[in-house]
Amino acid sequence: MRKFISGNDAVAEGVRLARPHVISAYPITPQTIAVERLSEMVEDGSLKAEYMHVESEHSAMAAAMGVSSVGARAFTATSSQGLLYMAECLPYASGARMPIVMMNANRAIATPWNIYGDQMDSMFLLNSGWIQVYVEDAQEALDMMIQAYKIAEHPQVLAPMMVNLDGFVLTHTYELVEIPEQDKVDAFLPPIQMSKQVMALDDPKSLCISAGNDFNMEFKIKQERDLQNSVSVIESVDHEFHEAFGRKYHGMMECYKTEDADVVLITTGSITGTTRIVVDQMRAEGKKVGLLKLRYLRPFPAEQLRIALRDVKHVGVLDKNISFGYEGTIFTNVNSALSSLDTVPKTTNYIGGLGGRDITKGNIEEAFEQMMSSDHHDKIQYMNVRCEQ
């Protein structure tokens, strides 16, 4: 069935199909409609779940951990300031290896106060031990809600997963979205399997135990090893999803017209769609440009990036964030991945979209033209700035 719905609606539809047992969430713009829809679904009985009204995002995640610790499927959603307020709980969940799934509507961080979309919020949590995926459109948002549980609950992964979609640009825009059949989703995503760390009445557990300087490091090494190894699970789940539903997202990242490209722009999230159109236009003019849609930031697909970009002359990284005092966060990660190539491509950091500022087709074309020209330019370029810099 196809429906004309918003990104928030698509998230709610995807979550309903994934059959979570408990939803604990606190509303925040621009995520609110997603959790409102879920609350309506619980009310009208189309989603058989417990809906917990919590007093904060910190409590929302604490409740989700309680749900997960008894082997049930938990969902929550947040954005921006809410995500940061919740932040303390995120490493608790990942350290306890709880396969919680969370939607994050990417939104600017105060101050100046701003409710529009950029990706500053989730960048803070790259080190939280959560898997982070960024989606391009509402269809991918819905599909990733279903994939996310399968990835997070995989016995070799057991990590919580954050599905990021751009605030307003995706959460509040409408598109035709294919809603999968429930029986097909049930076949793809079986009920959650009880794992060893789950407690029951006849098998009580101590949760979030301490491990001091004698044993802490080994726990962390195990967590890191398993998150690195989740790449193969992410790829195989996407493959299975394609077989079941006919849509695929190419695992860790999607290469679009990069094979013979001289210049490639790396994007995350909704700006990918705009960039795709610019690439098509410039290709029609005979310009060898390409797009690399980076889907996952954790685990980070360093090896896949090296393979995809080893023959490229110039790589641009579009960051909708700044790590103040340095550069865009994704730029740092990409440069680190490329540094072990024999011939390292030139790289430029395009920082844009902060506080919801538009990034136009023209801005992207300018970036490609700049990377193709031999003129010197600063390593960090701000896109669509309204005054002299």
Partner 1 sequence: MNRPKLKQWQEPVNIDAYPVGSTCPSDHLTSINAGWRTYRPVIDTDKCVMCLRCFLLCPDGVIDKSGEKLVIDYDYCKGCGICAHECKPGCIEMVKEEK
Q: Which residue among 95, 167, 251, 290 contacts partner 1 (CB under 8 A)?
A: 95
| Closest distance of CB 215 from partner 1, Å | 8
Q: Rounded to a whole number, what is the distance in angstroms from the first to the last CA of the chain?
A: 50
Both tokens of 153, joined, read 């609950």
> Does 88 contact partner 1 by CB under 8 A?
no
> Does 202 contact partner 1 by CB under 8 A?
no
Binding mask 143-162 for partner 1 (x = CB under 8 A): ---------------x----
> Does 96 contact partner 1 by CB under 8 A?
yes
Within 8 A by CB and 6+ apart from 362, the residues are none
Cα gap 21→256, rounded to integer Å? 38
| Closest distance of CB 217 from partner 1, Å | 10
Binding mask 115-144 for partner 1 (x = CB under 8 A): ------------------------------
> Does 204 contact partner 1 by CB under 8 A?
yes
Cα gap 300→316, rounded to integer Å? 17
Helix (H/G/I), strand (E/B), else coil: 68: helix
Both tokens of 28, joined, read 């925040």
Cα gap 373→377, rounded to integer Å? 10
Residue closer to partner 1 (CB basis): 218 or 303: 218
Q: Give the H/E segment covering residue 134.
A: strand 131-134
Q: How many residues bind partner 1 (CB under 8 A)?
A: 23
> Does 199 contact partner 1 by CB under 8 A?
yes
156 CB-contact burial (10 Å; exposed 0-12 / middle 13-18 / buried 19+): exposed
| Closest distance of CB 102 from partner 1, Å | 18
Sign of the four-CA dihedral 334, 385, 111, 34: negative
> Does 208 contact partner 1 by CB under 8 A?
yes
Positions 169 through 198 that interact with partner 1 (CB under 8 A): 195-197
Q: Given the rule CB under 8 A, which residues bind partner 1?
A: 69, 95-98, 158, 195-197, 199, 203-209, 211, 218-219, 221-222, 225
